[in-house]
Structure 1
């Protein structure tokens, strides 16, 4: 099964705290582990950049949750690719 990669950026809703971001990341990690998705989230509390990798079906599930999340706005898909080694094999979600 080939590895797929998805990168996107978004803007946090006003008032979102780092504690809330931590809770969201923990929830995402649980779902990502089941879907075989790993990755990393970079954020300054206002803007975020996320790199996700995994099977195509797993990424589709994760990205659907991302698109429908009410914790951020303006999701912009920056790129997708197929192939290559996992960059974050032990991180179902870290930030």
Structure 2
């Protein structure tokens, strides 16, 4: 999936889908508190995201926080679960 200006996070399922996109499609070991401008490739030190992508992804992450706050869901648990799955860590 490609996220653009028209995309919005409206549910916890959308949060999970966005986090899955970050981990599996964009290959980012992300943290919800980090700005997307902070992500840099280890190979060459270039920015992982364009300026336009940073604006879109930062807005989407703000929407993720809003949805999780409104629904009483821990955003960090969703992110951790996605990263653990990607790394093959089985936590009961």
Same fold per TM (> 0.5)? Answer: no
Between Structure 1 and Structure 2, the one with more strand by share is 1
TM-score by length of 2: 0.30
Between Structure 1 and Structure 2, the one with more helix by share is 2
TM-score by length of 1: 0.29
**Bigger CA radius of gyration:** 2
